[in-house]
Amino acid sequence: MRTTTEPAKPPGPSGMPVIGNALESRRALDFLVENRHRYGDVVYYDFLTEPIYQLNHPDDIESVLVTNNEQFTKSHLTKAVLGSVAGDGLFTSDGDLWREQRRRIQPAFHPAQIAVYSDLMVDAIDRRLATWTPGERRNLGEEMRKLTLDIVARALLGVDIESEIEDLGWSLDAVLGRLGSVWYHLLPEWAPTPGNRRFSRALTELESLVDDIIDERRATPDGDDVVSRLLAAELTDDEPMDPDQLRAEVMTFLFAGHETTAQALTFTCYLLATHPDVEAKLVEELERELAGDRPSLATMGNLTYTEQVITEALRLYPPANDIHREPVDDVEIQGYHIPPGATVSTPPWVVHRDPRWYDDPEAFRPERWTAEFRDSLPRLAYFPFGAGPRRCVGERFALMELTLVLACLYQNFHLELDPETRFAVETAVTTRPKHPVWMTVEAR
Ligand code: HEM
């Protein structure tokens, strides 16, 4: 029973006893959008027994992620879901451990270093596109996953995993499928369900691959990649890095470095296939600016329409659809008290579809991204890479990769959406297509 001194909760949907609104997770993204529509800028709901405070206004989100970020940590929900795979890696850790690891890793993403990755990316893209034959059908999501895995392994981990890529794709999918399912939260990891058995086999395989990568890099430690930097830190710092910490970082980069970019590319190609006028403008820009040459870091800067296409695709289908934090102490937002340990949800998926900031928000309109339009937006009305000190460390790397893939692909091919593709979106840690997106490859 509420006493008169108990602070009021924000409005929100009433859930079922014990499981709260957990069943809504089957249509989680629509649920979040409806919450804003029905209840406003601060919404309360329960996920199982977890209290969730959903913030929908860019100013409130800015106060959590940026201005008052020191009052929040990563949420225990994020740590529970991702920690079994990524341990205390850069994505899931907090405090001094996070600061120290970010300091060690950040130089691998310095603009000068990113420049070194560009040729390597174009080589990997050429290799993958060389396997495409005009007239054949391809599962776009799988193609993009193999490509982004290849790139992340070569650039960031300093290894060639081409022969392992098929098995690795299976393992990563099994792990993400389990982490993204609501049953993950309901059933203990040891319960002998088919999903759990697949998860544990896949995780063992991934851990053994990661151990092999670390051994290989230890044998040839010179390099600018993330693993070399961490190994060098092991030699020079007073405290050698714990082997579990190193494994957690490699696992973090393997996951964070490929999955989001693969989904972004799949959605962008889907949008281009369903908007032929946008594809035509993109191709016209590539012909004009590149004149048949391979794209490079130097020529990429001229691809302004391509950049608008990517910006708009990341608005409509942000791979990180929701970003969670939890307050260290009681905090007040819009007059509501949020207790320590509660989950604060700041969902790019909802803010990016808010008609207060985006005219006709469901429409794919790259042209909307003029400099004036950007300036007119509240700062956190667009944040596919997060904001504040925990902003994505791989943002520049990802944007360069997206640009180079689109440029190489659309210089050479047109992708025709297979009529059998049923397009729907789901969330399984990241935003992804619910069914395979089949495309027929046509030569340009
Ligand atoms: C389109 C592609 C990508 C998107 C949309 C994306 C999105 C994000 C977001 C929203 C965060 C912040 C999460 C939070 O505040 O809780 C984040 C963090 C992170 N991302 Fe990305 N990311 C992408 C690509 C990459 C790539 C390519 C890498 C690695 C090369 C990467 C590595 C990381 C890491 C390690 C963190 C944790 C950073 C920290 O807490 O210090 N991401 N990403």
Longest dimension (CA), the chain: 71
Instruction: Calculate how far, in angstroms, residue 147's C-alpha sits from the geometric centre of ligand 1.
Output: 18
Pocket mutation for ligand 1, best pick of 260, 266, 269, 351 (most atoms within 8 Å of C-beta): 260
In a domain, 1, yes or no: no
* 43 DSSP β-pair partners: 54
Per-residue pLDDT of the chain (444 residues; tens, 9 = 90+): 444 456 789 999 987 766 667 666 668 899 999 999 999 999 999 988 889 999 999 999 999 999 999 999 999 988 888 888 889 999 999 999 999 999 988 888 888 888 889 989 999 999 999 999 999 999 999 999 999 999 999 888 888 887 788 778 788 878 877 776 655 555 666 666 777 788 888 888 888 888 888 888 888 777 778 888 888 776 666 666 788 888 999 999 988 999 999 999 999 999 999 999 999 999 999 999 999 999 999 999 999 999 999 999 999 999 999 999 999 999 999 999 999 999 999 999 999 999 999 999 999 999 999 999 999 999 999 999 999 999 999 999 999 999 999 999 999 999 999 999 999 999 888 999 999 999 999 999
Q: Residue 41 falls within a domain, yes or no?
A: yes
The answer to the question of residue 49 being in a domain is yes
Q: Which residue range forms the structural domain that includes residue 323?
A: 22-443
d(CA 234, CA 171): 29
Residue 12 lies in a domain: no
Residues in contact with ligand 1 by the CB-under-6-Å rule are 90-91, 102, 156, 252-253, 256-257, 260-261, 264, 319-320, 323, 384-386, 390, 392-394, 397-398
Q: What is the pLDDT of residue 26?
A: 64
Per-residue pLDDT, 164? 81
Please identify, by atom number, the ligand 1 atom nearest to the C-alpha of residue 348: 10
Q: Whose CA is nearest to atom 16 of ligand 1?
A: 323
DSSP for residue 244: H
- Determine the pLDDT at residue 243: 83
Residue 375 lies in a domain: yes
Question: Looking at the whole model, is its pTM more than 0.85?
Answer: yes
Q: Best of 251, 259, 392 to mutate for ligand 1, by most ligand atoms within 8 A of CB? A: 392
Give yes or no for a contact between 153 and 261, defined as CB atoms under 8 angstroms apart.
Answer: no
**Structural domain includes residue 11:** no
Report which of 443, 29, 439 is spatially closest to residue 270, judged by C-alpha positions.
Answer: 439
Residue 425 makes CB contacts below 8 A (sequence gap 6+) with 29, 317, 431, 432, 433, 434
Atom of ligand 1 nearest to the CA of 383: 10
Burial of 281 by CB count in 10 Å (0-12 exposed, 13-18 middle, 19+ buried)?
Answer: middle
pLDDT of residue 116: 86
Exposure b/e, 22-33, CB count within 10 A at least 16 = b: bebbeebbebbb
Q: Which residues contact 218 (CB under 8 A, 6 or more apart)?
A: 231
- The domain that holds 278 is classified in CATH as 1.10.630.10
Beta 430-433 vs 425-428: how paired, if at all? antiparallel
- Atom index in ligand 1 nearest the CA of residue 152 equals 30
Residue 15, in any domain of the structure: no
Residue 172 CA to its chain's centroid (Å): 14
DSSP for 86-106, please give it.
HTT-TTT--HHHHHHHHHHHG
Q: Which atom of ligand 1 is nearest to the CA of 78?
A: 16
Total tally of structural domains belonging to the chain: 1
Q: Is residue 278 part of a domain?
A: yes
Closest alpha carbon to 408 in 313, 324, 282, 304: 282
